[in-house]
Amino acid sequence: MCFDFQNVITVPSANVSNMFYKWKLNVYNLTGLLSVKKKGYCSVRNEGLSGRGGNDIASAVVAILKKIVAKFPQLTELVLWADSCIPQNRNSLMSVALLHFLSHQTTLTDIAQKFCEPGHSHIQEVDNLHSQID
Rounded-to-integer distance, Cα 119 and Cα 116, Å: 8
28, 52, 92 from 55: Cα distances, Å: 14, 8, 10
Rounded-to-integer distance, Cα 99 and Cα 95, Å: 6
Mean pLDDT of the chain: 84
Q: How much of the chain exceeds pLDDT 90, in percent?
A: 38
pLDDT digits (tens, 9 = 90+) for 40-68: 999 999 998 888 888 999 999 999 999 99
Q: Cis bond leading into 12, ω under 30°?
A: yes
- Give me the mean pLDDT over the 4-25 stretch: 72
Which class for 66: exposed (0-12), middle (13-18), buried (19 or more C-beta within 10 A)? middle
pLDDT digits (tens, 9 = 90+) for 77-113: 999 988 878 777 888 999 999 999 999 998 999 999 9
| 10 — pLDDT class (breaks 50, 70, 90) | confident
* Residue 4 confidence (pLDDT): 86
Residues in Cβ contact with 40 at an 8 Å cutoff, skipping those fewer than 6 apart: 31, 32, 33, 34, 126, 129
* Residue 21 confidence (pLDDT): 61
Residues in Cβ contact with 1 at an 8 Å cutoff, skipping those fewer than 6 apart: 32, 33, 34, 35, 64, 65, 68, 78, 79, 80, 81
* Residue 103 confidence (pLDDT): 94
Could you list the beta-strand ranges (E) of 1-134: 2-5, 9-11, 25-34, 39-46, 77-82, 110-115
- Is pLDDT of 14 > 70? no
* Residue 123 confidence (pLDDT): 67
